[in-house]
Amino acid sequence: MTDTRREFDDLFFSLYLPVMVVVVVVVYALVAFVLLRRRDRPSPKREAKVKEGLYAAGLATIAAVLVGFTFRAETRVDAVAERAALEVDVTAFQWGWRFAYPGGRTVVGTDRTLPVLVVPAGETVRFTLVSRDVIHAFFVPELRFKRDAFPHRPTRFDLVFDEEGSFPGTCAEFCGLRHADMRFGVRVVPRARFAAWLREDA
Amino acid sequence: MTVALERPRPRGLLAWAASTDHKRIGLVTLAGAFVAFLVSGVLALLIRSELAWPGNQLLSNDAYNQVFTMHGSAMIYVFMTPAALALGIYLVPLQIGASAIVGPRATLLGTWLTFTGAFVSYSGFVTGSGAARDGWTAFFPLSDQAFSPETGMDLWLVGTTLTLVGSLIHGTTILATVLLRRAPGMTMLRIPVFSWSMVATCLMVLPSFPPAIVGFLLLLADRHGVNVYDVVNGPLEYQHLFWFYAHPVVYVMFFPLVGAVAEVVATFARRPFFGYSATALSLLVFAALSMSVWGHHMFTTGNVQNEYFSLTSTALLVPAGIEYFGIVGTMVAGARPRLTTAMWFAIGFVLLFLLGGLSGIIVASPTLDYHVHDTMFVVAHFHYTLFGGSVLGLFAAVYFWFPKVTGAFLREGLGKLHFALFFIGMNLTFFPLFVLGYDGMRRRVADYPGDAGFTTLNLVATVGAAVVALGVVVFLVNVVVSLRRPVPAGDDPWGAQTLEWWTSSPPPRENFDRPLPPIRSFTPLLDLREEEERRRVA
Amino acid sequence: MSRDWVTTGLWGLFLLGLTVLLLGWERSWLQLLLLGGSAALVLAGAVILRPLDEHGRAREQPETSLGTIVLAGGITIALLGVAFGTWLLLPGLGLVALGAGVALREVRR
């Protein structure tokens, strides 16, 4: 199961952010050191080839580590499972959304009546995303995930909504006049309640 | 010492506008770019005023979309790219000991195409349906006739194409000058660091600008009946053509400034730039890598090889880190730096570009980019690199070379005030955007919901923008005051290291009217001073 | 010894390496054309540069070039004509010819 949010949090908080903070602290400390110390004459040293070589090797190692962990996380996030518990067809259009569920239930809306994507908790949901007109993007900040919606080119991805609750979704690719208003809601409900909802009349 | 008989310089508007003197061309180009900066800055203030709190208080959605489109377009196509190249047009022949640029009239043509292109693009505002409004990126099919029928879009395409051609010409003539007109004794490994940065810049310009020119011309054709992008893969193919140019261009807008900062830091640390050859090599590696990362703008399409592009994008930290090693190393291995305004801007560059670059490494990871792409996080990232980096670097260059160009100093008091306002204002404006983006606030939105928790940080950002604007005013005052009551500067007021400081301020028509000093390193003037010092002691 | 072509050639080789690396992941003709084509163009440039005179003499230039400005105007109007119609294209091309002509005469004088 692809937990996009956990992949993001792990990668960001356990690796990228600490590395960035260390780099910033080191560089800023060096600059402060240069500005505060007393030193009237420059050092005659031209280059420090060995130090520079070691430093470059160090940088390459950092890059390799970042890339390695990124590849791993990415493979998991982009993975499309063999079988999904639920398949939803998402159509983006100027300026709203259409969610089509198996069995015929559909939810359509623009910002006037915000469409709500109802999904079951804890299950792999397979999305097939396409646009009816220009490029849009399906973005759920809570899940740390977005994917572009192209016309004529459906794209598929899996998401898992771990916890019950309601949170916002938006279009994230500038799509014209009312891009700012092109939003939707996400409501994650327990599996049993979702099954009942699916059977309801729209 | 004989003084060469100097032709009387023609004066007046035409003499400057149609000059074949690379120094005048460079200054005219820079002046035009700066006008674009001011106009686009006003648009930025409109954006920030609109976003200060929820609700469409100043601008309709439609007007806002035009404003942010023309803000980004002007800043990239008409301000920063031409300004970065203009520094090269002015300085490169001087730095390499040449009397002229290669192809002066071609260079002049490049400048005028930039100007006419900017004019055409902006003329969209006075048409009935308004200016272009699809971002500086103009993705298809949004930019197609069906979705963007306005004339302003066609004007934008024509104008932007012209500015790209202008910059392409500039890249060509500057590169040709370094390769073909170096003074005797000046091998490639003795050209100044700034000139190396221009070489790397121009190497990127030449292969990357034509695909965008082709892409825009094809879009123009598509809008007028020819089916180019109206195929299933059309929108993606447009993005490949566009981003193949649009990624290198951000380094085109950056490299000359890193070179300028290197010169400033070395001069005020009173030593040659530390790690010269490593930096020259890393500039070339950096430039090559920059040509191979464009797909990182397309991670969320699900249609590019995310692994390849995240590999090459993350690899950028190696040459970037080496350049930082050079700049910071020069400071560490130098004397306590003389804290002129130029040096302050250089320090600001080092501190702020770092945040921009590091946030770039974050978005180089697709997993992380999936969250922050198309949010304010990215807006923060590229403003830290382009404003905290390139713009601060540009002002470091201006304060540093102003005495050479005009023969007079810019006032230090006003200059430091300018720097303080920029440094504080810039951070106030853009740091909140990192947080806003992480919290899910998208970019390119005229408004946001009142209950999203975005309001306070947006207000802070707007205050920051006002502070930056104040800094711009202080700079303009500084220029006026410094020109009206000039404090004379002399040939080499800073105790600098490279050949442009050997000649008079401002330089004569043919750049040098006395023989050049011996060129045995990339710091001929420093070598000369050290030799004189040795002779005096002996 | 001239190192111009070395810089350009070396850079072309970097691009070539990155293109080969791309082949490890991607077979799309457009992407390979963009990156590989750039590599090829830069390498070709290096080859062309090799025999050129390193310290060339600059050609005698006029002080100002009005022809260049006219040429810029002509190109602008012609491109506008491509977008908006022949009524602009023809005058644009005319200005291009005029500007180019003037520019040529500026040197001959």
Contact between residue B268 and residue B331 where contact means Cβ atoms under 8 Å apart: no
Q: Do B300 and A78 touch (CB under 8 A)?
A: no
Per-residue pLDDT of chain B (538 residues; tens, 9 = 90+): 444 455 567 778 889 999 999 999 999 999 999 999 999 999 999 999 999 999 988 999 999 999 999 999 999 999 999 999 999 999 999 999 999 999 999 999 999 999 999 999 999 999 999 999 999 999 999 999 999 999 999 999 999 999 999 999 999 999 999 999 999 999 999 999 999 999 999 999 999 999 999 999 999 999 999 999 999 999 999 999 999 999 999 999 999 999 999 999 999 999 999 999 999 999 999 999 999 999 999 999 999 999 999 999 999 999 999 999 999 999 999 999 999 999 999 999 999 999 999 999 999 999 999 999 999 999 999 999 999 999 999 999 999 999 999 999 999 999 999 999 999 999 999 999 999 999 999 999 999 999 999 999 999 999 999 999 999 999 999 999 999 999 999 999 999 999 999 999 999 999 999 999 999 999 999 999 999 999 998 7
Give A202: exposed, middle or buried? Use CB within 10 Å, 0-12, 13-18, 19+: exposed
Of residues A11, A151, A178, nearest to B368 (C-beta) = A11
Secondary structure letter of residue A139 according to DSSP? E
Full residue range of the structural domain in which residue B46 is found: 17-537
Q: Does B316 touch chain C (CB under 8 A)?
A: no
- Taken in order B386, B388, B389, B395, the sign of the CA dihedral is positive
Secondary structure letter of residue B337 according to DSSP? P
Of residues C18, C26, C73, nearest to B291 (C-beta) = C18
Q: What is the pLDDT of residue A125?
A: 95
Residue B7 lies in a domain: no
* CB < 8 Å to C103, chain B: 105
Residue B3 lies in a domain: no
Q: Which residue has the tokens 């930025």?
A: B44
Give A14: exposed, middle or buried? Use CB within 10 Å, 0-12, 13-18, 19+: exposed
Q: What is the pLDDT of residue C56?
A: 54
Distance CA B504, CA B513 (A): 9
Distance CA B190, CA B277 (A): 9
Distance CA B157, CA C10 (A): 35
C-alpha distance from residue A105 to each of A101, A117, A195 (Å):
5, 12, 12
Residues 6+ apart with CB under 8 A from B430: B379, B380, B383, B384, B387, B388, B461, B464
Q: Taking Cα atoms as reference points, which of B362, B173, B168, B143 lies closest to residue B252?
A: B168
* CB < 8 Å to A18, chain B: none
Distance CA C96, CA B109 (A): 12
Task: Among A143-157, B425-439, C43-57, name the one with the lowest average pLDDT.
Answer: C43-57
- Chains B+C touching (3+ CB pairs under 8 Å): yes
Specify the number of domains making up chain B. 1
> What is the DSSP secondary-structure string of B39-72?
HHHHHHHHHHHHHSSSS-SS--HHHHHHHHHHHH
Q: Where are the strands (E) in chain A, listed by range?
A: 86-93, 96-100, 106-110, 116-120, 124-131, 136-140, 145-149, 155-160, 165-171, 183-189
Q: What is the pLDDT of residue B57?
A: 86
Residue A66 identity (one-letter amino acid): L
Angle (CA) B236 B242 B248, round 5°: 130
Distance CA B266, CA C37 (A): 38
Q: Does C48 touch chain B (CB under 8 A)?
A: no
Q: What is the pLDDT of residue B11?
A: 79
Q: Do B321 and A55 touch (CB under 8 A)?
A: yes
**pTM for this structure?**
0.96
Contact between residue B241 and residue B212 where contact means Cβ atoms under 8 Å apart: yes
Closest-CA residue of chain B to A40 = B335
Question: B355: distance to nearest CA of chain A, Å?
Answer: 8
Question: B65: distance to nearest CA of chain A, Å?
Answer: 7
CB pairs under 8 A between A and B: 220
The C-alpha torsion from B434 through B435 and B440 to B445, rounded to 10°, is: -60
Residue C99 has pLDDT above 50, yes or no: yes
CATH code at position B387: 1.20.210.10
Q: What is the pLDDT of residue B398?
A: 98
CB pairs under 8 A between B and C: 155
* CB < 8 Å to B15, chain C: 63-64
Residue B415 lies in a domain: yes
Mean pLDDT of A44-68: 91
* CB < 8 Å to B120, chain C: 76, 80
Which ipTM did the prediction report? 0.96
User: pLDDT band for position A111 (50/70/90)?
Assistant: confident
Question: A116: distance to nearest CA of chain B, Å?
Answer: 17
Q: Which residue has the tokens 């103009």?
A: B138
Distance CA B8, CA B517 (A): 27
| pLDDT one-digit tens code per residue, B348-364 | 999 999 999 999 999 99
* CB < 8 Å to B104, chain C: 61, 65
Q: Does C72 touch chain B (CB under 8 A)?
A: yes
For chain A, which domains are there? 4-78 (no CATH), 86-199 (2.60.40.420)
Tokens linked to B237? 């193919």
Q: What is the pLDDT of residue C104?
A: 86
Residue B1 lies in a domain: no
Q: Do B285 and C58 touch (CB under 8 A)?
A: no
Residue A99 has pLDDT above 60, yes or no: yes
Distance CA A61, CA A52 (A): 14
Question: B100: distance to nearest CA of chain C, Å?
Answer: 7
Distance CA B24, CA B17 (A): 8
Which is more confidently placed, A39 or B52?
Answer: B52
Q: What is the pLDDT of residue A175?
A: 97
* Chain mean pLDDT for chain A: 93
Residue B469 lies in a domain: yes
Q: What is the pLDDT of residue B2?
A: 42
Mean pLDDT of A95-124: 94
Distance CA A98, CA B295 (A): 29
Residue A81 has pLDDT above 60, yes or no: yes
Contact between residue B421 and residue B465 where contact means Cβ atoms under 8 Å apart: no
Q: Taking Cα atoms as reference points, which of B229, B69, B205 lies closest to residue B140?
A: B229
Q: Do A74 and B274 touch (CB under 8 A)?
A: no
